[in-house]
Structure 1
Amino acid sequence: MKPFYVRELNTYPVGARRIRLLAIAVLASLVANFETTLATILPLLREDLGMSLEEYGLIAAASVLVAGISAGFGGILSDKWGRVTLLVPTLTVTAACNFLLATVDSVGGLFAVRCLMLFIEGAGITITASLVRDFSPRMGRAQAFGFWTWGPVGASFLASAIAGLTLPMFGNRWESQAIIMGVVSLTLCAIIIWQIAEPSAALRAQVMTSEAAVSAEEKIDPAKARELLRYGHLWAHVLGNTGWQILYWTLAIFGQTILVDSFGLRAAGANGVVALGIVLNALAVILVGRVSDRLQLRKPFTLAGTILTIASLGYFVTIIGQPVSTAHGAAVWAVVFLCLGVAYVPWMANFSEDAEDVQPALQGAALGLWGMVVRVMVVVLLVVAPLVVTAGGWSVWIMVTIGGQAVFLVSMAAFKGRWRTTASADVPA
């Protein structure tokens, strides 16, 4: 017996209907990320609770660890029970927890609330990625995942924009942002519950090249998730991208703090700079995703984006702590975000397709494995980064993120897929 909010599709949606369902999946990704965003108020929260960067790192590490456990099991259970069955309750309960966050008045209270929120959230983000794959044939998958990245980057933009506009209105009280996030998230959850649907397990087990290729193929029963562990190229994807994610999560968690500490910006100004970078990133992922889909090439874009990211980070290190203008710092920050967008979306399509070639019925498990390993890395980041920054400053930690990009660069050698177009390649008109 399915819950009342589950609508299961027995035929693959095409045309405008598929686009609408894909948009709802992207909206769910935005909500899942938005309702747990803390970076926008972290400088104010630390000051109010008398919390050091090291203490926050330990709190965040513990909460992300439980999120990693949740992501791993959530992906597997979504393959078995369905995406929406788990997604809707995770979104709504986490949204409601923001009102609980607004009552926090101690470091211990923050620890308890964040662990609760991220345990629920961990499964939700994995499931939204699985839903996007379910509604995106390969001819449009990179662009679809480009829209999916509007979830995390869009959440950061939305939170930063709201904070930049409303913090002065509420006397720079961080509690105001927690309440606003709760109200906005619950409102968006109502829209998702009203519109969301998912393909049946039989449809999820098919490999869709394009909408025209939808067929009634023999259905594939989901194999055990541990089958994925036998393939070295999938581990190269997971571990290599985990190195790439060191930079992304550094910017997502500490972005505003880096700008405040390194360039002397106020919290509202730092949120404005972050929002600018996110807008450029959002545009880049869609443009690059579209071109990647037209050429049906993934690896060249990932390689180019990673090399550009390393170069821009190298310059960013040289200006940290220097008397540069706000416009100069904002421009470099924006370039870093732009380069990240070039690399990420083609990689995600590449990973999804490589996992699909192993076993299409295990997309949720593959994405869950990736989500779990990334969150283990984030735990280490949250413990180690504050110690490194205290000892050597943010420039030293940015050098660590460059090392993570280099790991990703090396791992690309093991990815499947072509480096260039061929005369026989099926390129959409």
Structure 2
Amino acid sequence: MAPTDPTTTPSGLSPDRLWRRGLDRYPDTAARYRYLAVAVFVTIVLYYELYVAGGVAPLMLAHFKMSFLYYVNILVLSNLVGAFGSLAAGVADRWGRANLVTYGLLATGLLAILTPAAPNKATFAVFAILSGLVEGMCLVATPALVRDFSPQIGRASAMGFWTLGPVIGSLVVSFVANRTLPHFDESWSSQYYIVGVVGLGAFAVALFGLRELRPGLRDQVMVSMADRALVEARAETAEREADLRNPWRQMLRPSILAPALGVSVFLLIYYTAVAFFTIYLTTNFGLTTAKANGVNSWYWAMNAVSLVIVGVVSDRLRVRKPFMVGGTVLAVVMTYVFMTRTTHPHTSASTLIWIISLLAVGLGVAYTPWMAAFTETVERRNPALTATGLAVWGWILRIVVCVAYFVLPYVVGAMDTLTRAPEVLAAAKKVPPGTPPPPALLHELGELKKAAADAPHQWQHWWWICIAAEVAFVLLMLPLAGRWSPKAARADAEAHEREVARLTGSAG
């Protein structure tokens, strides 16, 4: 290939290297793992930045005198904007993925550092919504990068590591908040400064370490590393013949739309955990913000471990759907158990840890194989439009979350009152002994008592919605590509290997 080709990565420390990131050969194993590691690392940081608000929500609401409903509406708008960010990221099939992620990290890092300077809740909302826009784009670009560097035999393992992004991002939020908030006098702004510095560090890593395949290489289906020579030999032809016409029309098919909708509703309980578990644990079970983050840490840690392990096992057996069914069954059972504890406010932290840890395992067992199967289904339709297919999923996911966050405050209406509890109780403590509280304060205390009684039953309604969504996932994932039987899957792989050997021999 000529040195002037825009898909060729410049060598050395050329300034062009910071923008032109295309690799014109499929990397060897060590380099491939390095690029995958960078993609996973930056994904973790991006989600750490996005989810940091959930870890300090009770403190932040008090600082800005922000109602629970106002906070939820910020999440609604952030996800709505993020949905269209995901659609916009579909251009990654034409313009590449790496720059979108790299400079997205720069934007989110700066936004995190600026957020504590927000003078009011409206400015805070603007920063949060802008971060949601960037996350929506990276939700598409990062898994597209992981798909490009992972053959189908090994895809579930790679996607398991990619899914560590949102999960470890959430774990880091909880862990850092649990360990550092007491040292910063429970200051919510400390968490934004920390994550902002981490984000800018990740930008530097991506700036020099993140690369991507040129279109001709990524526009082909690669089943195993044995296909490498054939993929490279066909790169020029694949780039010329890639069908990029009417990309949305090609991807808007039932085999793509139904599974994308299915996993989006399946993750309702996951996104509830991201945004509201800290608030839920502090208001329903009386935990401190730091203690609630400690409980959350177990949820995210167990989810992370299960994502990686099930990815390896799924690749070994070469099937996806049986894991989706098994994980869903466990998730449904544990969501029901979790729901039953809602009306037992004295449930110990250790009991809550056991329940949500098993719930997290169920979600992980189902999700990693789904990610692998979905990218394989998109490849079956058109491998040159992988980012477009992921953009369809990203848009549906963000719209579902947007609707869920909009509906939740009406299902759990008592939460708006309960989030004002610290302020109301602080006012009550200021009333001199023997002096009757003002009528307005008495009214607020009565409302608080009623909300505390109503909230557990209202949360149970929401958990029932999550259970119904988990069951729907099993039906909607059925159109995905892939075998149910490991024996049939091995036979397919062996047939593919024989065909590759034949074509390689013919080419030789």
| TM-score interval (norm. to shorter) | over 0.9
Contact 1:228 1:234 in 2 (8 A): no
Match of 1:66 in 2: 81
**SS of match in other structure, 1:381:** helix
Q: CA deviation at 1:212?
A: 1.3
CA deviation after TM superposition for structure 1 residue 420, in Å = 1.0
Deviates more, 1:411-420 or 1:336-345: 411-420
> Would the aligned equivalents of 2:105 and 2:202 in 1 still touch at CA under 8 Å?
no
Q: CA deviation at 1:227?
A: 3.1
Q: CA–CA distance in 1 between the matches of 2:485 and 2:289? A: 45
Q: What is the CA distance between 1:222 and its match in structure 2?
A: 4.2
CA distance in structure 2 between the aligned counterparts of 1:33 and 1:10, rounded to whole angstroms? 30
What is the CA-CA distance between 1:415 and the residue it aligns to? 2.4
Partner AA of 2:67 in structure 1: S
Select the residue among 463, 467, 490 that pairs with 1:398.
463
Matched residues, percent identical? 34
Question: Of 372, 394, 405, which aligns to 1:349?
Answer: 372
- 1:342-379 CA-to-partner distances (Å, cap 9, x unmatched) read 00000110000011000001110111111111111111
SS of match in other structure, 2:478: helix
Who is 1:119 aligned against? 133
1: CA distance, partners of 2:398 / 2:252: 21
Contact 1:282 1:341 in 2 (8 A): yes
> Residue 419 of structure 1 aligns with which residue?
484
Which letter maps to 2:65? G
Q: How does 1:182-201 map to 2 (within 5 A)?
A: 182-201=196-215
For 2:478 and 2:107, how far apart are their aligned partners in 1?
41
Cα deviation code 1:178-231 (max 9, x no counterpart): 111101111122112121110001111010111111122230424232233452
Tell me the equivalent position of 2:10: none
Partner of 1:266: 288
TM-score normalised by structure 2 residue count: 0.81
Residue number in structure 1 paired with 2:266: 244
Structure (1 or 2) with the larger CA radius of gyration: 2
Structure of higher RCO (CA pairs closer than 8 Å, 6+ residues apart): 1
User: In the alignment, which residue of structure 1 is the partner of 2:123?
Assistant: 109
Say if 1:68 and 1:122, in contact at 8 Å, map to a contact too.
yes
Q: Check the 8 A contact 2:101/2:138 in 1, yes or no.
A: yes
Residue ranges of structure 1 left out of the alignment (5+ in a row): none
* Unmatched segments (≥5 aa) in structure 2: 1-5, 8-15, 415-456, 497-508
Q: Which residue of 2 aligns with 1:226?
A: 248
CA-atom RMSD in angstroms: 1.6
SS in 2 for 1:419: coil
Q: TM-score, normalised by structure 1?
A: 0.96
Letter in 2 for 1:289: G
- Residue 276 of structure 1 deviates from its aligned partner by 1.2
Count of residue pairs brought into register by the alignment: 427
The answer to whether the Cα contact below 8 Å between 1:263 and 1:321 also exists between their aligned partners in 2 is no
Whether the 8 Å contact between 2:153 and 2:223 is mirrored in structure 1 is yes
Per-residue CA shift, 1:117-149, capped at 9, x if unaligned? Answer: 211221122100100001100010000000001
Residue pairs, 1:39-54, within 5 angstroms = 39-54=54-69
Give the whole-Å Cα distance in 2 for the aligned partners of 1:346 and 1:57.
31
- Show CA shifts across 1:313-364 (max 9, x none): 0111001130211100111011111111100000110000011000001110
Partner of 1:382: 405
Secondary structure of the equivalent of 1:147?
A: helix
Is 2:49–2:108's contact at 8 Å kept on the other side of the alignment?
A: yes
> Shift in Å at residue 393 of structure 1?
2.5
CA drift at 1:163: 0.7
* SS in structure 2 at match of 1:265: coil
